[in-house]
Structure 1
Amino acid sequence: MSSTLPPEAALLAAVPAAEPAVAAYRSRHDRAARVGVPAHLTVAYPFKPTAMLTEEDLAALRRIFSAQAPIRLIFAATGRFDDTSLFLEPTDGVPVLDLIDAVTDAFPAYPIYGGTHPQVHPHVTVGQGVGPEVMEAAEAAVRAALPIEQLITDIQLWEGPALSTGLGPWRRVRSFRLGIR
């Protein structure tokens, strides 16, 4: 971990089924991939640092995630946030939004993306900060692999040096099973 910045944490829904389609692009154009974070949908980032999580916090997370049945997602389209960001879009992101809302309600000091986006759009990042030629090539290659289907059975807690530093690695700290009471 970086000695100058405290570690960051995130709650993620890993999407390993997307890796064959997106890994080559993510490894070059997604800073999270470069520090070891798998293809994923973000549930909370930045989240409460793991060293600060109490037993009550962990119990709250277990309650939230055990109340949600496993989520079957289908990624049948790509999308763009602007001219430099490419992502996979689930056909139905509502169950992920429900988890985001539940975590935000339970941990209001840690809104997703620091509260910088008034509307959250569930997605799997393929690449950020790329030029139009790279984006178009990546989009064509990824679209050829669609649809991608993933059953989300757990939410993973990850931690590592601040993503803004480019340092790593990040590591999975624990997993919370969905639908397990």
Structure 2
Amino acid sequence: MTGNDSSTHQVPRSGLVVTVPEAEAAVRAWRGRPDPSVASGMPAHVTVLFPFLPEDRIDGDTLAAIADVMRRHKPFEARFEQCGRFPGILYLAPEPAASFRALTEAVVDRWPETPPFGGQFAEIVPHLTIAQGRNDTDLDEAEADLQDRLPVITRVASVDLMVHDGSRWRQRASFALG
């Protein structure tokens, strides 16, 4: 979850993500430098929504509502063939981006008090962060290194609820699509 300094969380927080284990080998060398979410257990992923609700607001009804939202979306194949950039950040761009955006929009429609990234950005740009907090030379090097490892292809069949307890991310629940 780009821009997330997990070490500063005071209240247990949560996020909804699509994990992409197929990308781990390709991006492992770059993800952990200096992304604190990697060190605290967050796997390679595309963020559906962060921040979501504080963990103490997630009860059985909330879990059932998340499951209902996710069931309305069909599983799909995602391909990561190209890199993209935000200032100081290199990411893999998933295709179809619209399928990830639809998941985000559906969750925000259900929980409008949880805008993506706290409302910091006007546009939803699905991405799998590779490197952040680096200079352009480092990002160029990471992008060149990845070219021989692409494409990464995954089947998106679920969305995971991840919670951060102040030191570690852990999966609390997984919700099947379709």
TM-score by length of 2: 0.91
Q: Distance in 1 between matches of 2:25 and 2:58?
A: 34
Q: Which residue of 2 aligns with 1:175?
A: 174
Q: Distance in 2 between matches of 1:9 and 1:137?
A: 32
Identity of aligned residues (%): 34
**Distance change >3 Å, CA 52–CA 128, structure 1 → 2:** same
Unaligned residue ranges in structure 2 (runs of 5+): 1-5
- 2:7–2:36 contact (8 Å) kept in structure 1: no
Count of equivalent residues: 173
- 1:12–1:158 contact (8 Å) kept in structure 2: yes
Deviations 1:140-164 (A, max 9, x none): 11122111101011100011146xx
Q: Partner of 2:50: helix, strand, or coil?
A: strand
Q: Distance in 2 between matches of 1:91 and 1:173?
A: 27
**Distance change >3 Å, CA 16–CA 4, structure 1 → 2:** closer
Q: Which residue of 1 aligns with 2:3?
A: none
Q: Distance in 2 between matches of 1:4 and 1:75?
A: 30
Correspondence for 1:130 among 129, 134, 142:
134
**Distance change >3 Å, CA 127–CA 72, structure 1 → 2:** same
Correspondence for 1:100 among 97, 104, 111:
104
What is the CA RMSD across the aligned residues, in angstroms?
A: 1.8
Q: CA deviation at 1:85?
A: 0.5
Unaligned residue ranges in structure 1 (runs of 5+): 163-167
Q: CA deviation at 1:4?
A: 7.8
Q: Partner of 1:68: helix, strand, or coil?
A: coil
